Amino acid sequence: MTSRRAAVFLDRDGTINEEVDFVRTPGDLILIPGAAAAVRRLNEAGLVTCVISNQSGVARGFYTEADLAGIHGKLERELATGGGRIDRIYYCPHHPTKGMPPYDVVCECRKPAPGMLLRGAREFDVDLSRSFVVGDRDVDVQAGKTVGARAILVLTGYGVKTREEIAGTGIVPDYVAADLSEAVTHILQEYGHPS
């Protein structure tokens, strides 16, 4: 019997693309330098590569799920120009207190809840204990820890602020990387792939 696959689950805003306090249109989405090449390296290593993103802007009425599809289309095109491919984009459109119906619910998908990770594990037959979660917020680290994955905090986006905020709280990333490129180098070294 073959072992289940390993995956890398990437936060979107502040990790792959610049943090702009709600990407509302495709034009607002700007990749962080090196992100497309980093995703390509994950693809070349055979790692399932997914996005997991809290998108409460839908619940708040800033944009619709259809608008979000256009934004994600731009993300995929931008990554493709650098040879990168995302296997699946998971997002949570909910917010428990700041949303409008039907999105104003407590859900299992909004990070730090593990719903998006569990769904990805089911759909791609992934072993979460061999997988990584990469993001710039405490909720990314918490979500990864909840499912037994290794959590990497990147210092892009809100990462520097997050590192200060979580100091001494018990929320401890397994690794802190300057950006997605460094995070991927660390991941590939752990798996014995050339970086």
Catalytic residue positions, numbered = 11, 13
Please provide the DSSP assignment of 135-192 as one string: ESSHHHHHHHHHTT-EEEEESTTTHHHHHHHHTTTT---SEEESSHHHHHHHHHHHTT
Instruction: Measure the CA dihedral 115/15/49/140, to 10°.
Output: -30
Nearest to 134 by CA among 181, 93, 78: 181
Q: Which among 4, 89, 7, 88 has a CA at the least distance from the CA of 42?
A: 7
